[in-house]
Amino acid sequence: MESLKKVSGKPELLLSTQHSLCPGCGEPLALRTILELVTELELRDRTICVCGIGCYTAFPGIIDVDVLQALHGRAPSVATGAKRVLPDRFVFTLQGDGDMVSEGLQEIVHSAARGEKFTAVLLNNGVFGETGGHMTTTSVLGQRTKTTMATGRVAEQHGWPIRIADVIAQLDGSVYVARGGMHTPAAIAWTKRILREAFQVQLAGTGFSFVEILTMCPTDWYVDATETPDWIERNFTPTYPLRILKSP
């Protein structure tokens, strides 16, 4: 066995591999990527995660960093209070698209405009996963959800999706804005790179940093888990291309 080298394992900051999210979900992959970076950057002892409300709200109980649980939509405001009173701590928010872009649009936009020095992470799967697959602001045109079942999302009826990363990038208070995804090994590696850059912006204290991560939701997209990478490439990346929208 000595010849075997461990190349992968449970992140040390994950206290349990038991979580209640669906097989094939992209959110645990995003969490893993974030926790690996917190360890690699030696931030565990000064990290405060501000967690929104969604499927990922199952995570705080199994991660070994301090957590402030926020209400739906309000994580950027809670993170503002935390980072302003403890400016030397490393503060990041975790929100889904329903949480951030539907309910909490005001909070995220103003926090970015104020140049708050925390990192906001958006886990974007284009549905309200926890409630069972309803349309959010970021559902793409044509997307079938529980509330757009017959027609898919139709612009005339349901409006257009908001590309929040593009909105944030337009604001003078944002310093770093990028979009990644969890659907392929290459996308995960890319996302780890942009998360690292975002975290480094926070550590440098120069302004607001923002990372959007496209995550798979086989349950509420009504596709087999193995088909979700293709689904993202066909349906999501045309609206939400993986790229750095703004960097110092």
Partner 1 sequence: MTRVLMEGSHAVAEAAIQAGCRFYAGYPITPSTEILEYMSYRMPQVGGVCMNAESEIEAINMVWGAAGCGVRAMIASTGQGISLMQEALAEMANAELPCVVVNMKRGQGDYFQATRGGGHGDYRHLVLAPHTVQEAVDLVQLGFHLADRWRNPVDVLGDFVLSHTSEAVAFRPLDERDLPPKTWAATGARGRPAHNVTPLGAPEKLRLNPGSHFAAIAAKLPRIAAAEKRCETGFLDDAEVAVVAFGSPARFVKYAVHVCRERGMRVGWIRPITLWPFPDETVAAAAAGLRAVAVFEQNAGQMIDDVRLAVLGRVPIVEIGGISHDHSGFGVGPALEPEHIIARITDVYRGQAAA
Contact positions vs partner 1 (CB under 8 A): 15-16, 18, 44-48, 50, 60-71, 74, 77-86, 89-90, 106-107, 110
Residue 167 CB, shortest distance to partner 1, in Å, is 15
Q: What's the maximum distance between 2 C-alpha atoms anywhere in the chain? A: 63
Residue 53 CB, shortest distance to partner 1, in Å, is 10
Residue 180 CB, shortest distance to partner 1, in Å, is 26
Contact call for residues 165 and 178 (beta carbons, < 8 A): yes
Instruction: Reduce the DSSP state of residue 47 to 3 states and report it.
Output: strand
157, two tokens = 């009826």
31 or 82: CB nearest partner 1: 82
Residue 70 CB, shortest distance to partner 1, in Å, is 7
50 or 244: CB nearest partner 1: 50
Residue 117 CB, shortest distance to partner 1, in Å, is 13
Q: Strands 134-135 and 127-128, how do they pair?
A: antiparallel
Closest CA to 133 of 228, 238, 221, 16: 221
1 or 85: CB nearest partner 1: 85
47 or 235: CB nearest partner 1: 47
H helices within 15-104, ranges in order? 27-40, 75-85, 97
78 or 214: CB nearest partner 1: 78
Between CA 196 and CA 202, with CA 197 as vertex, the angle to 5 degrees is 95
